[in-house]
Amino acid sequence: MDAPCTPERLFVLVDELTYYPTWMPLAHRVSPESADHDSGPAWDVELRARVGPFARSKRLRMVRTRHDIAARVVRFERAELDGRSHSAWVLDAEVVGVGPGSRLDMRLHYGGALWTGGVMERVLADQIVAGRERLLNLAMPPAG
């Protein structure tokens, strides 16, 4: 996504998961969690998507495993504490300066099967489009 704002302004909106519900409809609820067992901050994340009258949700414990403010790069990875094996969820975001604005590149890797299949892939694609529009509105510099 290209945005007409500084890279620093855009990075602030993606480097902290607590902000995601303000712009990403898929991130239904995000709350900080104790990171005593982790290398970085942790969050309890509830993802939710609607398919007609039905809602599909998933709770994840995500940890920020990379946070390079100077390079404007962040990585979040699933890190459950229940001792069981879980599908991987990895979210990478990088913001770079482009001319007078900035560009956000996000990559989400999911290693399971819950959110795959034609219908859910379409729902996720719609969530991403809506999230991009909301994020762009939040990143816009104040008028005046």
Residue 56 zone, left/alpha/beta (φ > 0; ψ -120 to 50; rest): beta
Nearest residue to 30 (alpha-carbon basis) of 64, 66, 55, 81? 64
CATH number at residue 131: 3.30.530.20
Question: Which pLDDT band, with edges at 50, 70 and 90, does 34 fall under?
Answer: confident
How many structural domains compose the chain? 1
Cα–Cα distance list, 82 to 60, 61, 79, 85 (Å): 12, 10, 9, 9
Residue 80 has pLDDT above 80, yes or no: yes
Backbone φ and ψ of 21, nearest 5° = -60, -20
Q: Is residue 144 one of the residues assigned to a domain? A: no
In one-letter notation, the amino acid at residue 49 is: A
Residue 84 has pLDDT above 60, yes or no: yes
Give the chain's mean pLDDT.
Answer: 89
pTM equals 0.89
State the residue range of the domain holding 71: 2-139
